[in-house]
């Protein structure tokens, strides 16, 4: 397989698919719509998990694990949630295979092993979790209940794309229970904020925090907070959501608590999640025509050292220098790899590390040995410099910090220059088609107008930004009065 | 619910189930045979995962993720494996629900959304993984391929017990590919050894390393290595297995590589796994009639501090002392919690921490404040001592190390005193019924004898120990000649 990628301008979508596969992040599997996350892609996901898990625990949450399956009768208990997910559920109907009497060596479903009640493979876990919480919550002393789960979920999407939309994906889902509405609302906002901080500071992706319109809300939620990012092709990507569920699930599953006065009340709920979709956001924000570009905080290897040598003596001398660099950088908690494979030439190694987005590449050759220097190449801007071994550790630290900051700044500049205020529908369509990005426009607040705009342009309201100034205006489509702008975009 | 447990002598099985639920480790769910792992139980599992994951990475393995579903045609490709798991497979047959026309507000499976090919929920992932490896392996340069996956799997067991045997469970499964038989055999033994070290040093559970007889082998394996532990009721528990798969999966999925001479050959394979079943082993090895007993290396909180006070002044003074202890012990990487809940009395806190197996409890009251002391209680042997604040950090370190070592020693003494050599079948039955534990006996090496002994006594051959002296003898059942003893036991 050629290592060269289709360029972004040539075919953005093809560039993305090729990059995911060639950089060894993921690939399609034999199961329709399900992906295999390859070791290099999984190592990046593990870094995301570790950081998020730390943040969840710092904010008082504990992990737990709930069943993969949801009995149909529980699944249908919260009607809006059930309606929202029913059309994309994988359903287990049997619990045994048997030899196929018509086809020797083949198996078939045993018709006698039909389940009395079908089991839905969880598309999200509110139902099974709230059915469990009924047994865990009796009094205000049991609240708040702050739980997170790392799990796989299945949504039978018809059109799938690696990381962005897959039938099975990995995620975390927080599910919390509270004594008051105010506390639950605070939790939903807090976790949206945790997501925003993580995505901005760790993934170097700027996001807009906002709330969803009614039609874009999570099925079963009273309010959905979200973080929205902008990809390089001008399309938005929802990077995380945090839902205020009101008392909807508590009522559907009859979860009540005795308050301090001894009065019974239904509890208030939130749920919130991010998924392997973040991998898609990461790729599409920073990468270029040469391949993946990784912020140092997510790179499995922040630095790679490639030896350039002809003789064994040279290799031995380079190895000594490399080992000393590795020791120094590991002491600074940096991840570094010595790529001394004898099966590949330096050029092939350079190409691979470029394709896989290793932030810094250090090359050491015989001349460097003589001069006491190394060559450092930055992956983000493809610049090189020669550095004295004496300055190396400090310079690597500086460069890694600079790469992390530069990637964020570059993405922020792109994003900020792609939020366009428009005042009429012609401009709306024009900007959407020719410039892309977020369109900041007045909207009359009705589902009808939102639907009509979507139908005409494929743009949806990504969110009503949390930090929004009040501003009198008229709806970009109907001309009806409006008090604030919302963000429209085409979206992944 | 009463906090008092049924005693082990009264009803061991009831004691176990009560302990799991009352210590907040896990509970049964609304889904038949599936458990909810509660936060306290999950925190222990996370500690196991972290340590195992470190050991896997230290031995060169990388994590990845493969699909939850296995298309039936792939599932049946390796015949022995398929036959072994076919009878306990959850099968997805449909991908959509719809409103039930006969029952308003209810859903039913949409008969039009039948899958062309049924999907098996993975009971183990050899099939889907080896089908993927075909694309990853072309040459000897691609080998060895050393991959691990943390995942949920489903086996439709008819009789289930929390942690020990559940329809869904969490586990890790390693899947490796090698150029030679010898290398694959070494890998299978290495990982069995990694498991043994982890279970002995970290979980404080002694194990026997051995190989399974043909009839107890993993379906599809040429050899199964295992670690076998002994529970307090004299029954054995298989704590982990590591399989040499020969070329069986490589042949079933046509995975070949070009060796250094350019010749094509099928690759050699291993797979190995441990699961949340280890939680059951942990509980049944160390716990007592007062509840859970945890080795310090697995305790979510190694130390808990309980303040005993009447006035706010006392609480303030105790809090100051507690904070200083916490700072000192966290500096030693110890996990410690200050249980200053105002909703519970000290007695209730003592009972809870005892039930949940916190290794050390520090109580601080007004007298301690006056004397510059605290009271430390050990969970394992229920002894108490008064310690000066000046000596506290060192004493806590000593005690935690002593608890870890004592638990292992106690379990080892029990295990070693419950390996009984027997020479005839009357003694065999007598020891099995009245003493329990492992029976070390000669066996003629045939499946028939093994089956017959199982039928008559419910004892199975747990393993042929790796460290086994050659010894001439006669089979305990048939009297036929034998060259070594094997270990029999009733097992979980
Ligand atoms: Zn109710
Ligand atoms: Zn073949």
CA atoms of A94 and A153, how far apart (whole Å):
20
Asked if the model's pLDDT at residue A294 lies above 70, the reply is yes
Closest alpha carbon to A139 in B107, B459, B243, B344: B344
The per-type count for chain A, helices as H runs and strands as E runs, is: 14, 27
Give the per-residue pLDDT at B1. 44
Give the per-residue pLDDT at B447. 97
Give the per-residue pLDDT at B469. 86
Higher pLDDT, A332 or B2: A332
Task: Using pLDDT thresholds of 50, 70 and 90, give the confidence band for residue A334.
Answer: very high
Q: Which ligand is nearest to the CA of B267?
A: 2
**Are A406 and A387 in contact, with CB atoms under 8 Å apart?**
no
Mean pLDDT across the stretch A252-280? Answer: 97
Task: Using pLDDT thresholds of 50, 70 and 90, give the confidence band for residue A3.
Answer: low
**Closest-approach residue (CA) in chain B for A80:** B105
> What would the pLDDT profile of A38-91 be if each residue is shown by its tens digit?
999 999 999 999 999 999 999 999 999 999 999 999 999 999 999 999 999 999
Q: What is the distance, to the nearest Å, from the Cα of residue B117 to the centroid of all Cα atoms in its chain?
A: 34
CB atoms inside a 10 Å sphere around CB B383 = 10
Q: Say yes or no: domain B12-286 is CATH 3.30.930.10.
A: yes
**Residue B291, both tokens:** 């509840």
Output the CA–CA distances (angstroms, integers) from residue B61 to A37, B65, B146, B187, in the order listed.
15, 13, 5, 11
CA angle B209, B215, B220 (to 5 degrees): 90
Q: Rounded to a whole number, what is the largest CA-CA distance in chain A? A: 83
CA atoms of B107 and B87, how far apart (whole Å):
28
Q: What is the mean pLDDT of chain A?
A: 97
Output the CA–CA distances (angstroms, integers) from residue A40 to A23, A136, B186, B388, in the order listed.
8, 40, 25, 52
Asked if the model's pLDDT at residue B403 lies above 70, the reply is yes
B contacts of A119 (beta carbons < 8 Å): 31, 90
B contacts of A72 (beta carbons < 8 Å): 97, 107
Task: Using pLDDT thresholds of 50, 70 and 90, give the confidence band for residue A343.
Answer: confident
Task: Using pLDDT thresholds of 50, 70 and 90, give the confidence band for residue A172.
Answer: very high
**Are A26 and A42 in contact, with CB atoms under 8 Å apart?**
no
Put simply, the answer to whether B39 touches A63 (Cβ < 8 Å) is: yes
Phi and psi, residue A469, nearest 5°:
-80, 145
Asked if the model's pLDDT at residue B116 lies above 70, the reply is yes
Interior/surface letters B451-485, b for 16+ CB within 10 angstroms, e for the rest: eebbeebebbbbbbbeebeeeeeebbbbeeebebb
Put simply, the answer to whether A343 touches B31 (Cβ < 8 Å) is: no
Mean pLDDT across the stretch B224-231? Answer: 98
Q: What is the distance, to the nearest Å, from the Cα of residue A194 to the centroid of all Cα atoms in its chain?
A: 13
Q: Say yes or no: domain A419-489 is CATH 3.40.1440.10.
A: no
Asked if the model's pLDDT at residue A226 lies above 80, the reply is yes
Q: Specify the domain boundaries for CATH 3.30.930.10 within chain B.
A: 12-286
Put simply, the answer to whether B93 touches A93 (Cβ < 8 Å) is: yes
> In sequence order, which ranges of B255-383 are alpha helices (DSSP H)?
277-286, 312-331, 346-355, 366-371
Give the per-residue pLDDT at B2. 56
CA atoms of B275 and A352, how far apart (whole Å):
36
Q: What is the distance, to the nearest Å, from the Cα of residue B73 to the centroid of all Cα atoms in its chain?
A: 31
Task: Using pLDDT thresholds of 50, 70 and 90, give the confidence band for residue A237.
Answer: very high
A contacts of B66 (beta carbons < 8 Å): 29, 36
Asked if the model's pLDDT at residue A467 lies above 70, the reply is yes
Asked if the model's pLDDT at residue A1 lies above 90, the reply is no
Closest alpha carbon to A163 in A69, A239, A235, A81: A239
> How close A369 comes to chain B (CA, Å)?
30
Put simply, the answer to whether B168 touches A67 (Cβ < 8 Å) is: yes
End-to-end CA distance of chain A: 28
Mean pLDDT across the stretch B64-79? Answer: 97
| Helices A39-58, A181-197: inter-axial angle, 10-degree rounding | 140
Give the per-residue pLDDT at A2. 56
Give the per-residue pLDDT at A175. 98
Query: Taking the model in full, what pTM does it have?
Result: 0.97
> What would the pLDDT profile of A177-210 be if each residue is shown by its tens digit?
999 999 999 999 999 999 999 999 999 999 999 9
Put simply, the answer to whether B86 touches A96 (Cβ < 8 Å) is: yes
Phi and psi, residue B226, nearest 5°:
-150, 165
Put simply, the answer to whether B96 touches A87 (Cβ < 8 Å) is: yes
Put simply, the answer to whether A152 touches B156 (Cβ < 8 Å) is: no
Q: Specify the domain boundaries for CATH 3.30.110.30 within chain B.
A: 419-489
Q: Cite the beta strand spans of A259-407 per DSSP E.
A: 264-266, 268-275, 303-307, 336-338, 360-364, 373-378, 384-388
CA angle A126, A257, B19 (to 5 degrees): 75
Distance B253 CA to ligand 2 centre (A): 7
**Are B291 and B354 in contact, with CB atoms under 8 Å apart?**
yes
CA atoms of B27 and B37, how far apart (whole Å):
7
Give the per-residue pLDDT at B393. 97
Query: Residue B166 class from Cβ within 10 Å (0-12 exposed, 13-18 middle, 19+ buried)?
Result: buried
* Bridge partner residues of B150 (DSSP): B172
Distance B91 CA to ligand 2 centre (A): 28
Q: Is the ipTM of this complex over 0.90?
A: yes
Task: Using pLDDT thresholds of 50, 70 and 90, give the confidence band for residue A243.
Answer: very high
Q: Specify the domain boundaries for CATH 3.40.50.800 within chain B.
A: 303-406
> What would the pLDDT profile of B340-349 be if each residue is shown by its tens digit?
999 899 999 9
Asked if the model's pLDDT at residue B64 lies above 50, the reply is yes
Give the per-residue pLDDT at B3. 64
Give the per-residue pLDDT at B28. 97
Distance B155 CA to ligand 2 centre (A): 29
Ramachandran class of A291: left when φ > 0, alpha when ψ lies in -120 to 50, beta otherwise: left
Asked if the model's pLDDT at residue A468 lies above 90, the reply is no
Distance B415 CA to ligand 1 centre (A): 52
> What would the pLDDT profile of B412-471 be if each residue is shown by its tens digit?
999 999 999 999 999 999 999 999 999 999 999 999 999 999 999 999 999 999 998 889
Distance B256 CA to ligand 2 centre (A): 7
Just give the CATH number of B303-406.
Answer: 3.40.50.800
Q: Which of A46, A93, A151 sits opposite B91 (nearest CB)?
A: A93
CA angle A281, A287, A350 (to 5 degrees): 140
Q: What is the mean pLDDT of chain B?
A: 97
* Bridge partner residues of A419 (DSSP): A438
CA atoms of A243 and A488, how far apart (whole Å):
20
**Are B485 and B432 in contact, with CB atoms under 8 Å apart?**
no
CA atoms of A202 and A50, how far apart (whole Å):
11
Output the CA–CA distances (angstroms, integers) from residue B177 to A80, B32, B195, B280, B419, in the order listed.
47, 36, 19, 31, 37
CA atoms of B358 and B343, how far apart (whole Å):
20
Q: Cite the beta strand spans of B192-263 per DSSP E.
A: 208-211, 223-230, 236-246, 256-258
Put simply, the answer to whether B96 touches A105 (Cβ < 8 Å) is: no
> What would the pLDDT profile of B291-342 be if each residue is shown by its tens digit?
999 999 999 999 999 999 999 999 999 999 999 999 999 999 999 999 999 9
């Amino acid at each position: 397989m050629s290592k060269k990628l289709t360029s972004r301008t040539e075919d953005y979508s093809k560039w993305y698919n090729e990059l995911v596969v060639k950089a060894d992040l993921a690939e399609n599997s034999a199961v329709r719509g399900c992906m295999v996350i390859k070791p290099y892609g999984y190592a990046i996901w593990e870094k995301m998990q570790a950081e998020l898990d730390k943040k969840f625990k710092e904010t008082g949450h504990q992990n737990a694990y709930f069943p993969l399956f949801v009995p149909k009768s529980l699944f249908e208990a919260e009607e809006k949630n059930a309606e929202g997910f029913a059309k994309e559920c994988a359903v287990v109907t049997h619990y045994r295979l048997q030899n196929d009497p018509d086809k020797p060596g083949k198996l078939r479903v045993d018709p006698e092993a039909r389940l009395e009640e079908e089991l839905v493979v969880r598309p999200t876990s509110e139902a099974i979790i709230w059915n469990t919480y009924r047994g865990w919550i009796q009094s205000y002393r049991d609240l708040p209940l702050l739980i997170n789960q790392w799990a796989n979920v299945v949504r039978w999407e018809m059109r799938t794309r690696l990381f962005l939309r897959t039938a099975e994906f990995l995620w975390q889902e927080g599910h919390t229970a509270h004594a008051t509405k105010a506390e639950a609302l605070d939790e939903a906002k807090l976790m949206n904020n945790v997501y925003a901080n993580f995505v901005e500071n760790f993934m170097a992706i700027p996001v807009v925090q906002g709330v969803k319109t009614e039609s874009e809300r999570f099925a079963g939620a009273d309010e959905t907070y979200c973080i929205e990012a902008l990809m390089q092709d001008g399309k938005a990507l929802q990077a995380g959501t945090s839902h205020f569920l009101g008392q909807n699930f508590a009522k559907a599953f009859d979860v009540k608590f005795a308050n301090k006065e001894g009065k019974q009340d239904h509890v208030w709920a939130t749920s919130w999640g991010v998924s392997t979709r973040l991998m898609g956001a990461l790729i599409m924000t920073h990468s270029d025509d040469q391949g993946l570009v990784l912020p140092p905080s997510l790179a499995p290897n922040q630095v790679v050292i490639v030896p350039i040598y002809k003789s064994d003596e040279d290799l031995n001398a380079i190895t000594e220098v490399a080992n000393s660099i590795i020791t120094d950088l590991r002491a600074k908690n940096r991840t570094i790899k010595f790529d001394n494979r004898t099966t590949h030439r330096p050029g092939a190694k350079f190409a691979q590390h470029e394709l896989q987005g290793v932030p810094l590449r250090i090359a050491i050759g015989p001349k460097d040995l003589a001069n006491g220097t190394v060559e450092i190449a930055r992956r983000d801007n493809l610049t090189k410099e020669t550095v004295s071994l004496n300055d190396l550790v400090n310079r690597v630290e500086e460069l890694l910090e600079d790469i992390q900051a530069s990637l964020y700044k570059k993405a922020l500049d792109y994003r900020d220059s792609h939020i366009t205020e428009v005042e009429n529908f012609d401009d709306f369509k024009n900007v959407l088609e020719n410039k892309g990005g977020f369109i900041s426009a007045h909207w009359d607040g009705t589902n009808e107008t939102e639907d009509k705009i979507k139908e005409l342009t494929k743009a949806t309201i990504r969110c009503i930004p949390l930090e929004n100034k009040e501003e009198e205006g008229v709806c970009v489509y109907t001309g009806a009065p409006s008090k604030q702008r919302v963000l429209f975009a085409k979206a992944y």
